[in-house]
Chains A and B, each alone.
Chain A
Amino acid sequence: MPPFVDVSDVTLTYGGTASGTLALEHTTLQIEKGEFVAVVGPSGCGKSTLLKLVSGLHLPSRGGVLVAGQEVSAPLSIVGMAFQNPIMLPWRTTLDNVLLPLEIVEPHASQFRARRAEYETKARELLGIVGLDGFADHYPWQLSGGMQQRASLCRSLIHEPELLLLDEPFGALDAFTREELWVVLQRLWERHKFTVILVTHDLTESVFLADTVYVSSKRPGRIVASQKVNLPRPRDIYAAEFVSLVRALKSDIVEVRAA
């Protein structure tokens, strides 16, 4: 079976090929359907660029991106996205924020009025899974950062995307909240089996969650190493195997930074 996401020898230059910044160079990456992939690397290494390429928000200068066997040439609506900043809309309640994608993505958008009750039930269910029971009707500014990030996850999943793109979604949270949300994300992923690309600079996070961890070089970014994580879930971050995997990744990164 061909890979679900196939990034083959992609190069991307921002702002014109001759004078622009080279963000990604000869990047190749294959992701199976339902696989959880993490990309780690020094900051400013084009990890976010990779997500934009896969989502179709940017097109590669050279090389090609295939998602579900199709060449990516425009934004893909089978994609859900979440970022470090939860960017909730402050004039909408948490519930209405979560429902936003359904007001935009077809076929839901044209049926939105008619099926609102059904969608609402679904959104409330999702909010329940991430531990936001009873907060659906609060405004996002009444929630803590961690709660907003939970809601942001719900929003990225409400339209049942096949591919979830996460750009350091837990980067701004405190350690306790972050670890709670790892578990929440894992639960959601085990339930719905979507494909995930998680960009992070937290190695523990990547090993805790991912099936495969890719290490990206500094700018211009390219994938320089990968690490399969075959530990059973839920993983114990203090287990010897876990720690040695994190350590191995760490030494990869150190090499990359020195290079």
Chain B
Amino acid sequence: MSRQPENGMSERLETAMPWLFLLGSVVVWELACIVLRIPPFVLPRPSLVVIALYERFGPIIDNSWMTLLRTLLGFAIAVVLGALLGVAIGSWRIVYRGLYPVLIGFNSIPKVAVVPVFVIWFGIGTIPAVLTAFLVSFFPIAVNVATGLATIEPELLDVMRSLGAKKHKILMKVGLPRAMPYFFASLKVAITLAFVGTIISETVASNKGIGYLMMAATSNFDTPLVFAGLIVIAVMGIAMYAIFAAIEHRMTFWAKRGDGLMA
């Protein structure tokens, strides 16, 4: 917060660095492909990827839109169920003891292994993608919310209880507000994971979506289109991350304590 004011030049340079780095890599990539005569179906030049993006813009947008919707749907379910489960685990010892080990065990299953089961139950398409997105992303939300609730200072609980506060009152006044930074921090991670879930499912069991598009392109040796898909996924992932990081910053400014004014 109170970083020493540096001179404007190096400050601007710092801000520009990621972009410069990106630009540099693209240039090196382009030149390397030309100089080393790498065939486009192995590694397409960035310029070819851009052309693929431009020429196939319609289908790419269609499929990306599908992926985005599936991801957001799975993520939304994960937010609701993850937060509820987190509150339950963080508030009741018995739920914690009963569910937490099961959750840990469940989370250690690679989610891609579950997709075939979903296909048996629901066929290919949207439902397995949404479910996979949900499964992959709800765990960090639940764990973070539970952690936020479980780490309330014991003295604070004493104060609340001595004032006659019942469990739900402690939850409303202290538990939930205190868990908010944990919750919002987990959203950033969870939305990125939700994309992973959707795309895993789409590559295995779908006839639409950016994951499907990339699989189809692969079987046609249309490598520039595969890379175009990668770029679109990256852009969506970064955009979602940025949105949730901004929400986090807004909602829990108090958790990012700078140096105390008076300290």
Q: List residues of chain A with CB under 8 Å of any chain B CB.
A: 52, 55-57, 75-77, 79, 81, 83, 85, 87, 89-91, 100-101, 103-106, 138-139, 141-145, 147, 155-156, 159, 167
Contact = CB atoms under 8 A, between A and B. Distances in A.
Interface residues of B, number: 25
Contacts, number: 74
A85 B163 contact: no
A90 B257 CA distance: 9
Contact of A103 (B156, B158, B173, B262): B173
A79 B260 CA distance: 31
B155 A79 contact: no
A144 B164 contact: no
Given A87-B159, A144-B262, A104 B164 contact: yes
A159 B159 CA distance: 13
A172 B256 CA distance: 23
A56 B164 CA distance: 10
A147 B261 CA distance: 12
Given A76-B162, A83-B159, A91-B178, 7 more contacts: A55-B158, A75-B164, A104-B160, A104-B173, A139-B254, A143-B261, A156-B159
**Main SS at interface, chain A:** loop
Contact of B261 (A104, A105, A142): A142
Nearest to A146: B262
A91 B254 contact: yes
Given A77-B163, A90-B257, A104-B163, A85 B173 contact: no
Contacts of A167: 155
A141 B159 contact: no
B263 interface: yes
Q: Which of B158, B180, B263 has the most CB of A within 10 A?
A: B158
A135 to B, nearest CB: 9
A87 B173 contact: no
Nearest to B174: A89
A147 B155 contact: no
Contact of A77 (B153, B164, B252): B164
A144 B263 CA distance: 5
Contacts of B177: 89, 91
B161 interface: yes
Nearest to A105: B163
Given A90-B254, A104-B164, A52 B158 contact: yes
A79 B173 CA distance: 19
A101 B156 CA distance: 12
A105 B153 CA distance: 20
